[in-house]
Structure 1
């Protein structure tokens, strides 16, 4: 790749949640290595996630812009958080106008569609960053644009057919985004959220954390819907090595060395990695069912569990896990808190991944070439599972459902045991896709898309849009 940045200044604005911040910081790292100057807008709470980049690049290349969102009511939902973020419109505008070398473009998360109006006022291009894939983006765009409704309000299994999306995916009502299902037409907050979302289609360009061999049909669909080709698939965005992955997303609950040493003692493809993302919390009944399934399967496992800063797990699950850990001994490794997931998945001993199908986890699993068992619980996870299981055939549907769902531990035990079997039939297809993911960034489609995107950014400093 050529170095085309020439110091061009870019404002990067992630939505303030780890699953959104981390991949956008992976993109930021690529911008920095190509000679761009980057300001990253973060809340003080999430500044630690940015520290690895701040500590490895000069302050002349990267600076944080610390702005706090206004206080929100306790347990407020996504719409309130997005609305609160828009209160930063004028502080950001003031920062731009007072900066001696203001950014030439804004790259912001898809939840921050309101920044497109900010970019317009400043006369700058806004680029939408999707930390999820083009399939999920197509589904959400279809929902918010066309507003299909449940004609049987008391039937959560009512089917919604999205005929405007390639392959015409069908979802029972309960699998659609919770925010969408709660939409109230005319409500100011909901209408703000919808309009902010639709503003993504009006933005100058779109970046997907994906790659063409995984989602070409949906990438082409987005280009057709937008009527232009400023759509780039630049994924999978991952740290280049295990050293970088050890601090990606924050300080781990256990040392990288400790996890790797435990894995080094296990046979190739013998370990199942279990994780439900940075926000997923199982109920006590779900925890009990999964404990029974793992124990009956006899597999070696690492289980990363969401915990607070002191390593405490919510509700009764903590006591259940403590007892389970004592019973399984060296066959299991339970991590209470943040885990070095990329490094774990890349280890030769890990053969399977029980995942909630968050997009970061999907890409990390694909890039590592591990078999995947899907347990989607909400958000875009049902769409991601549909892609993996039904459309490209690289994963097995283990179960699906949120708080009210409890898996059949006997059936789940069978699937866990089969997932590390050498005869697992989906492994060949998975390894092909793994190679495609790795090749995409070594001269393949993603590296070419990134090259084109960065060249266009570099040109912004040399011409007036």
Structure 2
């Protein structure tokens, strides 16, 4: 009698908060499409414990690969980005590469059980393609970033060690995408400008690029209608090597990042006291912050405008981002005055971002424009004021501003402190806030576009032909899993 082979999807995220969230969202979608398949999230022990705790409502399996952080020069218990400053991420990147033999053995056991296996790997662990290829498994790379930003960053790294700046105007035109023109201040990290090919991070990223070009498919956390230009650029880059499938927006539900802390209620109660669409929400993400002089000037600018604000604040660059926040980093008595006038609320703990963005009082989001924050804001119809700090964030701002007109760039800063950045100007803050939040024709037009984008994102998963739902099903068919 013929037997039906079991189907097994193996998911391996890189250990960062946004990466875990993206893979849990992918797992939730795959469970709906493949109710009888085994879905297994693979990582190191602490990460598996975190993933298990975040997915209690899903029917998932987990597999922990042996990992001892101290053997890789990492602090005891350090298995994720949250335990490291940005400049030390390369230590974790390299440490995770050592997991390949253990992962290979795990996939080999799955194949010995005569299962059809598809491996979906985070872009930062694309080396898993080696094990997939050795054991005849389908393989896909999942990118938690957007299409345009990913395509530009890929092009920049592939041009190393020397970026071709135009000698006449000093701008950079990408040979792979001649329609894209970049300023030096939009290129990060700055080691790209130095062209240091011996740098460990550069070497690692070039290894990742080589692995990624051997995959069968690329899943992108975006929507076909949102990023047609970026998706075209990605397909131009990959050619016939891999198909590109937009399967976003992978946006959590409002309660998915609920910390359950008492201060969440304090934040929401404060928002309840504010007028609709009047509050500027400020957050640079969990791993980013700004320079001391920028922080001081931004605070002074907020006070001068008189607009209410909600600021998820962290210590400035040069200090422990997870450490105690000192009053000296803000104008004297700034927080006391904001509290007394009920015009400002400072959050020093984890911010319930999804609830904040969904609140009727939130009128705009001053963001570093990491892709998860972008999608969370757009899916809730909140305009974005961009202050990109690194990586692909500069290019996210470009796409949002130029293609959709739902973002205005306020400032531009490099979070590795190797490029000099001037403090943001108070007059510029006032002008941008008026553009985005004022009672102007420009603001009204932006909000109409936001409604269009919000509905587009929601429609991508419509049962009756949503583009992302269709893309996921076509991907599974291509992997012979549907």
Short-chain TM bin: 0.7 to 0.9
Once the two structures are TM-superposed, the CA of residue 333 in structure 1 deviates from its matched residue by 2.1
Distance 1:294 1:187, change over 3 A: closer
- Aligned partner of 1:121 in structure 2 is 134
Distance 1:137 1:167, change over 3 A: same
> Distance in 2 between the 1:193 and 1:339 partners?
31
8 Å Cα contact 1:356/1:377 also seen in 2: yes
1:12 aligned counterpart, secondary structure: strand
> Distance in 2 between the 1:339 and 1:10 partners?
33
Asked if residue 420 in structure 1 is aligned to residue 421 in structure 2, the reply is: no
Once the two structures are TM-superposed, the CA of residue 307 in structure 1 deviates from its matched residue by 7.0
8 Å Cα contact 1:177/1:380 also seen in 2: no
1:139 aligned to 138, 146, 152, which one? 152
- Aligned partner of 1:84 in structure 2 is 95
Cα deviation, 1:365-417, whole Å, max 9, x if unaligned, reads 11111111110111111111111123332211111113442101232133234
2:219 aligned counterpart, secondary structure: strand
Once the two structures are TM-superposed, the CA of residue 444 in structure 1 deviates from its matched residue by 1.9
Once the two structures are TM-superposed, the CA of residue 33 in structure 1 deviates from its matched residue by 3.4
Q: TM-score, normalised by structure 2?
A: 0.82
2:394 aligned counterpart, secondary structure: helix
Once the two structures are TM-superposed, the CA of residue 31 in structure 1 deviates from its matched residue by 1.9
> Distance in 1 between the 2:91 and 2:163 partners?
24
8 Å Cα contact 1:32/1:38 also seen in 2: yes
8 Å Cα contact 2:371/2:393 also seen in 1: yes
My pick for the range that moved more, 76-85 or 20-29, is 76-85
Cα deviation, 1:251-306, whole Å, max 9, x if unaligned, reads 36655433333323322111111000110122322211111111112112211124
- Aligned partner of 1:447 in structure 2 is 469
Structure 1: state its 5+ residue gaps: 1-5
- Aligned partner of 1:278 in structure 2 is 286
Matches within 5 A, 1:172-251: 172=184, 175-185=187-197, 190-228=202-240, 230-239=243-252, 241-246=253-258, 251=259
- Aligned partner of 1:41 in structure 2 is 42
> Distance in 2 between the 1:440 and 1:417 partners?
32
Structure 2: state its 5+ residue gaps: 76-84
Distance 1:434 1:194, change over 3 A: same
Asked if residue 300 in structure 1 is aligned to residue 317 in structure 2, the reply is: no
Once the two structures are TM-superposed, the CA of residue 105 in structure 1 deviates from its matched residue by 1.3
8 Å Cα contact 2:387/2:413 also seen in 1: yes
CA-based RMSD of the aligned residues comes to 3.2
- Aligned partner of 2:455 in structure 1 is 435
Distance 1:173 1:294, change over 3 A: closer
1:426 aligned counterpart, secondary structure: helix
> Distance in 2 between the 1:85 and 1:408 partners?
42
2:330 aligned counterpart, secondary structure: helix
RCO higher in structure (CA 8 A, sep ≥6): 1
Once the two structures are TM-superposed, the CA of residue 24 in structure 1 deviates from its matched residue by 2.0
Equivalent pairs counted in the alignment come to 445
- Aligned partner of 2:295 in structure 1 is 287
> Distance in 1 between the 2:262 and 2:434 partners?
26
Distance 1:410 1:64, change over 3 A: farther
1:184 aligned counterpart, secondary structure: coil
- Aligned partner of 1:165 in structure 2 is 177
Once the two structures are TM-superposed, the CA of residue 321 in structure 1 deviates from its matched residue by 8.3
Q: TM-score, normalised by structure 1?
A: 0.85
> Distance in 2 between the 1:42 and 1:323 partners?
46
Asked if residue 97 in structure 1 is aligned to residue 96 in structure 2, the reply is: no
- Aligned partner of 2:392 in structure 1 is 380
2:40 aligned counterpart, secondary structure: strand
- Aligned partner of 1:3 in structure 2 is none
2:255 aligned counterpart, secondary structure: helix
1:428 aligned counterpart, secondary structure: helix
Asked if residue 325 in structure 1 is aligned to residue 324 in structure 2, the reply is: no
> Distance in 2 between the 1:252 and 1:280 partners?
23
> Distance in 2 between the 1:348 and 1:238 partners?
19
